Amino acid sequence: MDIFSEFINKNQRALAKLITLIENFDRAGFEILTRLERRHAENSPAKKSGAGKQIVVGITGPPGSGKSSLVDRLARKITASGEKSTIGIVAFDPSSPFTGGAILGDRVRMSNFTSPDLFFRSMGTRGSLGGMSKAISYILRIYELFGFDFIIVETVGVGQLEIDVVKMTDTTIIAEVPGLGDEIQAIKAGIFEIGDIFVINKTDRPGVDKIYCEIAYMLGLRRDKLLQDGINDAWQVPIVKTNCVSGEGIDELLAKIIEHRDLAHGTGRIAGNRKMRLCEQYLSFARDFIEDNVMGELSHDAEFKALIEKGSINIFSEDGGPNFKNVMLKMSKLLTEKIKSL
């Protein structure tokens, strides 16, 4: 299969194959991605940083809060609407490896529902955190290039990875549930500040009013703090109550996502996010290049070793001590040589 041409023809099998190549950090995948980027840049110069009204939505929250159920419900609504919108989903399975193995409920549920307008991908989180967030940033980019209208990523609460992923999205939904204890889980996870939409799911359970008041109170404090800093956010963060069993509240949730999308496109935030994501990928590539080509070689370098033996590098001082400059110059020499040989 010619993945490049099939991908352009919106063949989902080509999309799946490209993702697998990228997940495995296979060179062939990056070559295809580069060609796709080039084509994208040539074909849509005015929209280089993001097409139409695309949106990347992140959904996060404590384990079992109903994130997958919400995504499932949203996906049905989106594809059933008259607008013929398409949707690309990526979800993390907490423990299953990339290749599958014991796939959890997530995939089973989503696969009950297939449609040419919907693509679902599940990823394991066994890889290194850095590797995972890199892979996810590429997958989101591939989804953008494929042209999905809605791109949704479901994360699991694993600290840094969750924060990294949430940073990559345009709209962050935080799903809470009643009765988990006194503290709002997003505060515990350190992500309360970045929620654009709060969801209280499982409203068929007791304790809804209590958690609603807690979130509303915290959002009030958050807004006051922004105002003190002179920021008057045009977006009023909503709290949407949902029940995934009956489907209540899903219409309102989708309406809020669309409202946020329209506002974020209007303010240029989405275009800015796209640029930021591309910039991050570039920097990450550059970091890897330096790591592999300079840091790796440095430890075998006689001149470097001699500099170290001279001592006097002081990691506690701002300028690194008298010899630090020489070490950096040595590194920059190595880097220049590597760049010349590219």
Ligand X SMILES: Nc1nc2c(ncn2[C@@H]2O[C@H](COP(=O)(O)OP(=O)(O)OP(=O)(O)O)[C@@H](O)[C@H]2O)c(=O)[nH]1
Q: Which residues here bind ligand X, judged by CB under 6 A? A: 63-69, 105, 156, 201-202, 204, 243-245
Asked whether position 69 contacts Mg ion by CB under 5 A, the answer is: no
User: Which entry of Mg ion, ligand X, none binds 277, CB below 5 to 8 A by partner kind?
Assistant: none
> Which CB atom, from 96 or from 133, has the smaller least distance to ligand X?
96
User: Which entry of ligand X, Mg ion, none binds 63, CB below 5 to 8 A by partner kind?
Assistant: ligand X
Of 60, 65, 68, 133, the residue at the interface with Mg ion (CB under 5 A) is 68
> Which CB atom, from 68 or from 133, has the smaller least distance to ligand X?
68
Shortest Å distance, C-beta 99 to Mg ion: 19
User: Which entry of ligand X, Mg ion, none binds 69, CB below 5 to 8 A by partner kind?
Assistant: ligand X
Shortest Å distance, C-beta 317 to ligand X: 46
> Which CB atom, from 67 or from 141, has the smaller least distance to ligand X?
67
Cα atoms in the 13 Å half-sphere on the side-chain side of 299: 4
> Which CB atom, from 7 or from 119, has the smaller least distance to Mg ion?
119
Shortest Å distance, C-beta 244 to ligand X: 3
> Which CB atom, from 204 or from 291, has the smaller least distance to ligand X?
204
> Which CB atom, from 106 or from 164, has the smaller least distance to Mg ion?
106
In the shown chain, the binding pattern of residues 77 to 116 toward Mg ion, with x for contact by CB under 5 A and - for none, equals -----------------------------x----------
